[in-house]
Structure 1
Amino acid sequence: MDKSPQDDVAGHFHGKVAIVTGAASGIGAALVTQLAVHGARVVAVDRAEIPGPPPGVLAVAGDVSDSDVIARSIELAEAEFGPVDMYFANAGVMGGADIGSEDEWATGMDVNFYAHVRAARLLVPGWAERGSGHFVSTASAAGLLTQVGAAVYSATKHAAVAFAEWLSVTYGDAGVGVTCLCPMGVDTALVRDGAASADPRARAAIRAVTSAGAVLSSDDVARQTLAAVAAGEFLVLPHPEVRDMWQGRAGDTQRWISGMRRYQAAVRAAEDG
C-alpha cells in the first residue's frame, strides 16, 4: 500500500527530539501535541503552566527572554532524550500599540527576535558539525508585510524573518534545515486578547489582521508547519493571499504603502465608529 503524505510527516518526526517555546497555548501547544502524536520527544517551554503534557513531553516553566531558560531547556532535552534535533522558536508577544514604549521594545526584541538568536547560537554550530538539525521560526505575515498599529510587532517579526533567512543561507549546505512560519490571523490568545483590548489602537491592529483573511485554527497552522519541515521547505504561508500581498509590495512599494494607509484608515474608522 502506498504511503500517504501524512505517513511521510509522521515518519520524519518519529524518535526525534524537539524543543517548542510558547508551548502552553495556541500554535505552540498544537505543535507539541502533533509532534508527540508523530512519536517525537518534546521539551515544551512557556512562562505559563502547561496543563497535562502528553507522554513523551516534558514541561519547562520559564521566559525565553532569559538565556538561562533556553540553555536549561536544551540541557534537559539532552539529558532525558538525547541530542536536540529540532528547535521551534514559537514564543511571541505583541509589544503594545502604535510606536511602543522603551519597555515594550525591549520585551518585543527579547522574545520575538533575540530568543531565536540565543537558541541558534547554542544549537546551530553543533548541528552543522553533525550535518543535521532543524530550526523553526514562528514569525508572522507582519514580518513580510507590516502590522497596522503595532511597530514593535512588525519590526521584530521582520527581524525574525531576516535571521531565519540568514541561517538558511549560511548553514543550509551544512545540513541545517530552517523553516519560517508567516501566518496572518490565527485563533490564539494573542489575537483574542488584542481584540478585547480597551485600547482602540490595539483593537484596530488585530482587526487589520482578522479582516484581511480567514482566522485559522492553531491545529491547521501546526499541521502545515510540520509538513513544511518534513519537506525541507523554508517559507510557510498558511494564508495564500499573503504571497500575493508580498509580491505586490515588492513589485510596487509606493502603491502598496498607499493602499496600506487606506486600509489602516478603514480599520481605525471601524473601531472608532
Structure 2
Amino acid sequence: MDFENKVAIVTGGAGGIGSALSTALVSEGTNVVVADLQQSRVDAVVAGLESTHPGKSIAAAADVSAEADIKRLIDLAESTYGPVDFYFANAGVGDGAGIGEDNQIWESALEVNVMAHVRAARLLVPAWLERGAGYFVSTASAAGLLTQIGSAAYSTTKHAAVGFSEWLSVTYGDRGIQVSCLCPMGVNTDMLNGGLEAGDEDGEGLGARVVESAGTILEPEVVAGAVLDTMRAGRFLVLPHEEVLEFYRRKGSDYDRWLGGMRRLQARVAGA
C-alpha cells in the first residue's frame, strides 16, 4: 500500500481518531481533506498539519448525514488534489441510553453511523470500479462485533456499519475496491469522555463501554497507526485491542453463554 501523493477524505476529522488519521496520512505523503461539522475546529487541525506538511491538507465543514455535503467533499478533493483514493467514514454519533424513547436519537444514529457510509460509497464506487482501485475505511466499534451496555441505537447502528463494510468487501473486493473496518474498544476521545455534541464525534464513545473494563484506553494516534498498518496488510478488520477477536470468537462459539456473561457484566456496571 502506497500512501504517497494519494488523495483521502477523513470525516469526523476535528479531533480524536479523525485528527490522528489525518496526521498519520499527511505524514505518509497523502493529500487529505479534513472534514467535520464545525469549520473552526477543522481549520485548527489543518493549521497544525500545514505547519509541518504545507499544501497536503485542506479543511472543510460538512454534515455527513447530507448527501450533498459528501458530494461537496468529493468535489473539493478532486478539484484540489485529484481523484479520491481513500475514504475514511469516521464521523459517528453516540447519543442516547437504553432503548431510546426519542426517535430522533435513532434517526441521528442511523443517518451518521450507517447511511453516511452508504451515501459515500454510492458516490465513490462507480469511479473506483472504472479505475480498478479505491479504499473505503469504516470506523465502527467493538460494539459492532459484540454489543454494548448503554445505547441500543449505538450498538445497533455499529452492527449495521460492520455489515455494510462486509457487503462492500464481498461485492467489490475482487474488482479492485478494498475495505477495512475499524472496531476498537475504548479510545481517548471527546466522545468517550462525553465532550461533544451529536454529529461532531469521531468514532468511539458509548460503544466502547461494552468491554471497556477488559481493555486499555488507547490514544487516537495508536489507533490511527493500526488503521494504516491494516491497510498495508490488506486486511478487513482493524482491531487495535487484540482481545476483541477472542471475545468475538467466544460469542460465536456459544452465543447463550456469551449473552449470560454480558448480562452479568451489565449488572456489575449498574452496581458500580
* Residue 268 of structure 1: aligned partner: 270
Q: How does 1:86-101 map to 2 (within 5 A)?
A: 86-100=86-100, 101=102
Give me the whole-angstrom Cα distance separating, in 2, the residues matched to 1:68 and 1:45. Answer: 14
Query: Taking structure 1 as reference, are residues 26 and 39 closer, same or farther at Cα in structure 2, changes over 3 Å only?
Result: same
Cα shift at 1:209: 4.0
Give me the whole-angstrom Cα distance separating, in 2, the residues matched to 1:31 and 1:52. Answer: 11
Cα shift at 1:144: 0.3
Give me the whole-angstrom Cα distance separating, in 1, the residues matched to 2:45 and 2:154. Answer: 30
Give me the whole-angstrom Cα distance separating, in 1, the residues matched to 2:217 and 2:95. Answer: 21
Give me the whole-angstrom Cα distance separating, in 2, the residues matched to 1:238 and 1:149. Answer: 22
* Residue 168 of structure 1: aligned partner: 169
The amino acid that maps onto 1:145 is L
Query: Taking structure 1 as reference, are residues 151 and 59 closer, same or farther at Cα in structure 2, changes over 3 Å only?
Result: same
Q: Does 1:22 align with 2:12?
A: yes
Query: Taking structure 1 as reference, are residues 205 and 126 closer, same or farther at Cα in structure 2, changes over 3 Å only?
Result: closer
Q: Which of 223, 227, 230 in structure 1 is aligned with 2:229?
A: 227
Query: Taking structure 1 as reference, are residues 157 and 204 closer, same or farther at Cα in structure 2, changes over 3 Å only?
Result: closer
Cα shift at 1:162: 0.3
Partner SS for 1:73: helix
Query: Taking structure 1 as reference, are residues 205 and 158 closer, same or farther at Cα in structure 2, changes over 3 Å only?
Result: closer
Aligned residues of 1:204 and 1:267 also touching (Cα < 8 A): no
Query: Taking structure 1 as reference, are residues 137 and 206 closer, same or farther at Cα in structure 2, changes over 3 Å only?
Result: closer
The amino acid that maps onto 1:19 is I
Give me the whole-angstrom Cα distance separating, in 2, the residues matched to 1:108 and 1:153. Answer: 7
Aligned residues of 2:143 and 2:210 also touching (Cα < 8 A): no
**TM-score for the superposition, normalised by structure 1:** 0.89
* Residue 215 of structure 1: aligned partner: 217
* Residue 182 of structure 1: aligned partner: 183
Q: Any gaps of 5 or more consecutive residues in structure 2? A: 196-204
Q: Any gaps of 5 or more consecutive residues in structure 1? A: 1-8, 195-202
Give me the whole-angstrom Cα distance separating, in 2, the residues matched to 1:125 and 1:226. Answer: 24
Give me the whole-angstrom Cα distance separating, in 2, the residues matched to 1:170 and 1:204. Answer: 31
The amino acid that maps onto 1:159 is A
Partner SS for 1:157: helix
The amino acid that maps onto 1:214 is T
Larger RCO (CA under 8 A, 6+ residues apart): 2
Partner SS for 2:87: strand
Query: Taking structure 1 as reference, are residues 119 and 205 closer, same or farther at Cα in structure 2, changes over 3 Å only?
Result: closer
Cα shift at 1:128: 1.4
* Residue 194 of structure 2: aligned partner: 193
Q: Please tell me the root mean square deviation across aligned C-alpha atoms, in Å.
A: 1.5
Give me the whole-angstrom Cα distance separating, in 2, the residues matched to 1:169 and 1:205. Answer: 26
Query: Taking structure 1 as reference, are residues 81 and 209 closer, same or farther at Cα in structure 2, changes over 3 Å only?
Result: same
Percentage identity across paired residues of the two chains: 56
The amino acid that maps onto 2:30 is A
The amino acid that maps onto 1:99 is I
* Residue 140 of structure 1: aligned partner: 141
Cα shift at 1:212: 2.1
Cα shift at 1:189: 0.6
